[in-house]
Chains A and B, each alone.
Chain A
Amino acid sequence: MSSDPTVPLEDSVVSVDGESAVLTRPPRSQWREVWDQFKSHKGALFGAVVFLLITAGVFVGPVIWRIDPQFLPQGRDFLTLRDTRPIYVALWDSGAKVNWAHPLGTDNLGRDMLARLMFGGRVSIAVGLTAMVLSLVLGTAVGVIAGYFKRLDGPLMRLTDLFLALPLLPLILVASLLFRDPLAAVFGTEGGIFILIVALIGITSWMQTARIVRGDVLALKEREFVLAAKSIGTRPGALITRHMLPNILSPIMVSATLGIASAIITESALSFLGFGFPPDFPTWGRLLNDGVDRLVSYPERSILPGILISLVVLSVNYLGDGLRDALDPRIRGR
């Protein structure tokens, strides 16, 4: 039951990724129609392209740009290579310290910014997407069950109240006390922390989605078409997946878009407080945070990761818009 709500979502994401596969092998006609509608949505295509470009950049980029993001120049190089500006700064400031070997400059310890942005993007995108999916699955499942089954509404909503009231920081402290070492033993230091962070962000951010979904389901289940479906003997499982979920997709999509942004930011807050990845492990949120102190002298150190986070969120937002339109039969028919 809990994984049902995402099935249409996942399928369509796959169809976006495997563009050629979908085109060469005729898929089921319904998905073909969805894809046609999606293609005609300019914003969605734009979002998909930008998102794919960024993802490819951060995952494939390091293969081409082979500088270690954690490498520090040693000896005399250190002083000459630290604090270089991006090369575009030379356009208006000929005296700026730029270096073609580091197109986006270096940080105060001489680490290459481009390599750090690519490395950081991997972590941030992975954390953002996984935590978002986790929180959506949890939130949608709780919301649908609470809204549809009257008997479970009370307990589940009180559980939601409880989670809303829990203070995040002590929760993280307890979780890292209990689970950090066992997880690190199984998945390695970084893998363990990744799972811990994703799980923590996921289980502390599903409540809003759950309340919204429940509110919509409460209203939906009194609608005529639901009553009609019920009266012809549709079972709850099918009723929810076929009739309810498509109609509450919009708020879920909005939650998804906002969820990615807040997951990336929350991750940076956790690292900043000392609960996240090891300190030499860059993520976009952390780069943005570290750059704030030098905002006047080196604005690019905060602005570049900031732009990348915004771009990811914007592209996911347009993707979501396109998907929602493509999956809505009323719009598709137009």
Chain B
Amino acid sequence: MLTYTIRRLVLSVPTLLFIALVIFMLLELAPGDPMAQVPLTVPSDVKEQMRIALGLDKPSYVRFWKWLLQIFWIEPKVFIDYLTSSTTLFGWLPDTALYERCVGLSNLDTCDYRALSWQTRSPVVDLVLQRLPQTLWVVGTAYVVGILIALPIGIYSAYRQYSWFDQAGTFVSMIGFSVPPFFSGVLVIVIFSVQLGWFPSIYDTTHTVNDWDSFVVQLKQMILPVMVLALQITAQISRFMRASMLDNLNQDYVRTARAKGLGETTVVMVHVLRNSMIPVVTVIALGVPLIFGGAIITEQVFKVNGIGQMLIGAIQANDLPTVQTLTFVFAFLIVMFNLIADVLYGVLDPRIRYE
């Protein structure tokens, strides 16, 4: 298993580079213009000058190489500098100064030019780090809540198949999955913000939690988006859990375990559950990168302005460095979590072997 993991880790480097290249070519091929949102009152020759200032006159292979350099060489330097100067963990080390800041025209050719977003002209990685907290708060919470609700529902629905609980669960989860967040989001806003006035309809990203009262405020502004997202996640995972449990409940080994005199709880919660987890683990592992990817529509509806909103905004503004960097981060997470899922298969079912 260990050699398998190491081999997969090594293999993931060329995989990721290839994915980065494919994404880059896709973005190159896609029609679009970073100047599309500039008003029509700005003449086209000025827009052309602005495109040149963004570096769009350079051939695409030069731009791809520059981006690789920025992400794999300059950004790590910035990160190491940050570790040794501002963190408690490594702050005791002597301050490194690997990153050479650009100061005016004097050192423009030699300085470390970070990957800049075309919309904001600021380093993309800083923007991602700025957006991450609200995405993790909202989408992460929704995911954890969704899983915690979905697993028991799925298990019990399967165990009592076609009981009223199972029927109700099916009904609610199917409706939950069929109603898109652009509708359910607005619906809960109309009910809970406009009519009842209980919760805010707009998420305050500048809010900081430092005591109980501010935590309550944070909770209030999170409830609606978390509710909308958790409904979708619960619906999906509980269905897979239920289906997989049903498959296993009829297997011979369950009869054997019961015949051995094992308690019903042990049979269901240990034997059946463990064997039913493979599809569920797959779905959960596929979902984790999506947490970091944010939830595009829900974030827009509630103005959470997390990573999902950043990605859709960057795509609409044709901000290629931002789109490229964000999708690359997702690709990294996807590759890693699929690796974790593969390792977990082996743990859950020791018969699965990888050589």
Interface hits, A256-277 → B, CB 8 Å: 257-258, 261-262, 264-265, 268-269
Q: Of A222, A250, A313, which one neighbours B174 at CB under 8 angstroms? A: A313
Please, which residues of chain B bring their CB within 8 A of the CB of A166?
22-23, 26, 327
Q: Counting CB contacts under 8 A, is B208 at the interface?
A: no
Interface hits, B273-332 → A, CB 8 Å: 275, 278-279, 281-283, 286, 289, 297, 311-312, 315, 323, 327-328, 330-331
Q: Counting CB contacts under 8 A, is A64 at the interface?
A: no
Q: Of B174, B244, B312, which one neighbours A257 at CB under 8 angstroms? A: B174
Beta-carbon nearest neighbor of B336 in chain A: A161
Most chain B beta-carbon contacts within 10 A, residue among A170, A262, A285, A324: A170
Q: Of A208, A218, A250, which one neighbours B352 at CB under 8 angstroms? A: A218
Q: Contact between A167 and B315 (Cβ–Cβ < 8 Å)?
A: yes
Please, which residues of chain A bring their CB within 8 A of the CB of B335?
161
Q: Counting CB contacts under 8 A, is B217 at the interface?
A: no
Number of interface residues of A (CB under 8 A): 60
Q: From residue A309, how far is it (CB to closest CB) to chain B in Å?
A: 5
Q: Contact between A313 and B345 (Cβ–Cβ < 8 Å)?
A: no
Q: Contact between B22 and A162 (Cβ–Cβ < 8 Å)?
A: yes
Please, which residues of chain A bring their CB within 8 A of the CB of B247?
247, 250
Q: From residue A210, how far is it (CB to closest CB) to chain B in Å?
A: 10
Most chain A beta-carbon contacts within 10 A, residue among B19, B311, B355: B19
Q: Counting CB contacts under 8 A, is A158 at the interface?
A: yes
Q: Contact between A289 and B182 (Cβ–Cβ < 8 Å)?
A: yes
Known A-B contacts A254-B243, A261-B177, A306-B178; A165 and B330 likewise in contact (beta carbons under 8 Å): yes
Q: Contact between B279 and A212 (Cβ–Cβ < 8 Å)?
A: yes
Beta-carbon nearest neighbor of B277 in chain A: A215
Q: Contact between B240 and A212 (Cβ–Cβ < 8 Å)?
A: yes
Q: From residue A114, how far is it (CB to closest CB) to chain B in Å?
A: 20
Q: Counting CB contacts under 8 A, is B338 at the interface?
A: yes
Q: Counting CB contacts under 8 A, is A251 at the interface?
A: yes
- B29-37, B62-70, B86-94: which lies at the A interface? B29-37
Please, which residues of chain B bring their CB within 8 A of the CB of A154?
11
Q: Contact between A219 and B349 (Cβ–Cβ < 8 Å)?
A: yes
Q: Mark A315-329, 1 if CB is under 8 A from B, else 0.
A: 001100000100010
Q: Contact between B183 and A174 (Cβ–Cβ < 8 Å)?
A: no
Please, which residues of chain B bring their CB within 8 A of the CB of A324?
243
Q: Of B178, B330, B345, which one neighbours A219 at CB under 8 angstroms? A: B345
Q: From residue A144, how far is it (CB to closest CB) to chain B in Å?
A: 14
Q: Contact between A310 and B179 (Cβ–Cβ < 8 Å)?
A: yes
Q: Contact between B283 and A208 (Cβ–Cβ < 8 Å)?
A: yes
Q: From residue A310, how far is it (CB to closest CB) to chain B in Å?
A: 4
Please, which residues of chain B bring their CB within 8 A of the CB of A258?
177, 235-236, 239
Q: Of A174, A223, A288, A330, which one neighbours B29 at CB under 8 angstroms? A: A174
Q: Of B23, B27, B178, which one neighbours A309 at CB under 8 angstroms? A: B178
Q: Of B26, B187, B328, B355, which one neighbours A171 at CB under 8 angstroms? A: B26
Q: Counting CB contacts under 8 A, is A63 at the interface?
A: no
Q: Counting CB contacts under 8 A, is A79 at the interface?
A: no
Known A-B contacts A161-B331, A169-B315, A254-B243; A296 and B190 likewise in contact (beta carbons under 8 Å): yes
Please, which residues of chain B bring their CB within 8 A of the CB of A285?
180
Q: How far is the CA of A251 from the CA of B303 in the complex (A)?
A: 35
Q: Of B27, B190, B338, which one neighbours A295 at CB under 8 angstroms? A: B190
Q: How far is the CA of A43 from the CA of B23 in the complex (A)?
A: 45
Q: Counting CB contacts under 8 A, is A211 at the interface?
A: yes
Q: Contact between B178 and A162 (Cβ–Cβ < 8 Å)?
A: no
Q: Of B15, B162, B250, which one neighbours A330 at CB under 8 angstroms? A: B250
Known A-B contacts A167-B23, A170-B30; A215 and B345 likewise in contact (beta carbons under 8 Å): yes
Please, which residues of chain B bring their CB within 8 A of the CB of A169?
312, 315
Q: Contact between A167 and B352 (Cβ–Cβ < 8 Å)?
A: no
Q: Contact between B334 and A218 (Cβ–Cβ < 8 Å)?
A: no
Given contact pairs A158-B15, A218-B352, A331-B250, enumerate 5 new A-B contacts (beta carbons under 8 Å).
A161-B19, A174-B29, A215-B345, A251-B279, A258-B235
* A and B contact pairs by CB, cutoff 8 A, 7 listed: A43-B162, A215-B341, A219-B349, A219-B351, A254-B243, A268-B180, A324-B243
Binding site for B on A (CB under 8 A): 43, 150, 154, 157-158, 160-162, 164-167, 169-171, 173-174, 177, 207-208, 211-212, 215-216, 218-219, 222-223, 247, 250-251, 253-254, 257-258, 261-262, 264-265, 268-269, 285, 288-289, 292, 295-296, 302, 306, 309-310, 312-314, 317-318, 324, 328, 330-331
Closest 4 A/B residue pairs (Cβ): A165-B331, A222-B351, A250-B243, A173-B30
